[in-house]
Amino acid sequence: MKINEVATYLELPSETLRYWEKIGIISKVKRDKSGYRQFDQDDVNWIRYVKCIREVGIPIAQIKEYTNVARKGGNAILRKEILVAQKSKLKAKVKEIELAIQMVDYKIDHYNSMSIGSDE
């Protein structure tokens, strides 16, 4: 697949793919005779995974560290720690969102209990 095909398929800007390759998050992609990047299925699967962990808030620096460790085939403990730390952050965000929903529900209930036409 060419870069624009991968970008469309994974809903990522081509610039992001180029940047991730430049900083080493994506391995150097094979090129065709004309110099165009040719992504294979392994590349696409890895990019999909990186997109996923990026979307949950893992910073680029940590993804780069995770990538470097993963490529060396070692230190599964460090890779796990990165993911566990992010999971904790996500759980904290969920709690914040749940509290915000409770406040909104409280206000909705308040307005529902008011008589129609009242301007409180």
Residue-wise pLDDT tens digits, 6-49: 999 999 999 999 999 999 999 999 999 999 999 999 999 999 99
Domain 3-113 = CATH 3.40.50.620: no
Give the tens place of pLDDT for each residue, 79-99.
Answer: 888 889 889 999 999 999 999
In angstroms, what CA-CA distances link 19 with 60, 85, 117? 11, 25, 56
| pLDDT of 120 over the 70 cut | no
- Percent of residues in the chain assigned helix, strand, coil, to nearest 5: 70, 0, 30
Give the tens place of pLDDT for each residue, 50-73.
Answer: 999 899 888 999 899 888 888 887
Global pTM exceeds 0.85: no
Sequence ranges of the domains in the chain = 3-113
Strand partners, 37: 31
